[in-house]
Structure 1
Amino acid sequence: MRNCPRILVIDDDKRICEFIELYLRKEMFEIGICHDGAQALEVFRKNPPSLVILDIMLPNQDGYQVCHEIRKISNIPIIMLTAKGENFDKVLGLELGADDYMVKPFDPKELIARVKAVLRRFQPQSSNIRQIAYPDLYVNLNEHQVVVRNQSIELKPKEMELLYFLVSHANKVFTRDQLLEQVWGYEFLGDSRTVDVHINRLRQKLQNKSNAWELKTIWGVGYKFEVK
């Protein structure tokens, strides 16, 4: 029986892998390492880890492809790494299902903090049923189910958590930093664009579904689930 979370590090730079492994082992994590996208997917399927640290620039299959394939079969947390800092890279990674994003070079202490924060968020659901209903909307977090006007809506894990948090606090405004802390589990470490991306994705999936509620932007402040 495994006592420590296992982290799968996927990066073609062996020095980066050794660097990450050194710091993670000090924190008592078990480590697996892959330098190739296709190999990483094979390893993942045979022995799923507790969390994946995933570089974008990989041989055979890049990080975006690997993230996409993992999300087809698992909601295991993924932290993406890249030397690129363009907003397009961040948005694409988040839309594909990554839970967090770091740009190289990075502070190892920050990486450790993010790993621990993401793992804290990824806990088995409790036996208590967490569900809530409004006109035209039913959300069940335990069963990962959203129904709008008798139609099931497919959401990614973090989209589901964000929606459930907002509908559980109807008509209350939250800043991006508050949502990062409550849904992603850390404060001031994440890029606020993470929240924007997920709100936009939710809107695309829920827009024009009901006149009874909406995901509303409060300009200069944040977001709220408004019940009319």
Structure 2
Amino acid sequence: MNDTVASEIAHFTNLSHIWWGAKTVAGQKRYDNKLTLFQQNCNVRSGARILEVGCGDGEFTKRLSQMKTRNVTITATDITPRVVTRARKHIKNPKVTFQIDNLENMRFKRRSFDIVCGISILHHVTLQKSLHEIYRVLKNGGKIFFTEPNLLNPNIYLGLHIPILRRKMEFSKHERAFIRWQLQKELLKAGFIHVEVKNYDFLHPLIPARYIHHAERIGHIAEKLPLIKEISGSLMIYAEK
């Protein structure tokens, strides 16, 4: 285990939650929106084997398990044992299996999964090493879906570069964010095809519940505006093998 991995495990072991924003109504709505995007892009078929890496407390896992597609199996992994224990207590569904595993060196055989997905995980790991592992365990013709923080978003940029904000936002020591076009190059370099990295999400987790609908309407417009869209909160990643 290298120092970066050990540091990440220690960071999330000492937190009572994976992400502070998951405790808000707007934060939960963001997870709902991620599932909608996942279903729109991945077109999950009956019998699909899904791997979720960096599952954390299982917020997205829970939503995956509620999909109506028949005979889907979900393997959800995280490197932090305490986090996996919490997720197991949080979600009890026969479709879901939780495992402790390292994204940079996974235990699964080649071409094991139809879909590999993850929410805000790639910015915690060695990117190329992780992308090659994802590619390895993905079946030919398989799909990937990830959402990651956008470095050009002012809130994220300041949070990463100002120490007091970094602590307040509970960023780990090695946490970073991505720029859309650079991330697209990395995916192509790893061998993926039909790569799409899109700006989305202007819904801040601290927006009060009564304003969520209005904020999302404005956000959907902003996602389509040249230049403005580049400061979105998140990047949506889709690609195929």
Shorter chain as denominator, the TM-score bin is 0.3 to 0.5
Structure 1 length normalisation: TM-score? 0.33
Larger C-alpha radius of gyration, 1 or 2? 1
Structure 2 length normalisation: TM-score? 0.31
The structure that is helix-richer by fraction is: 2
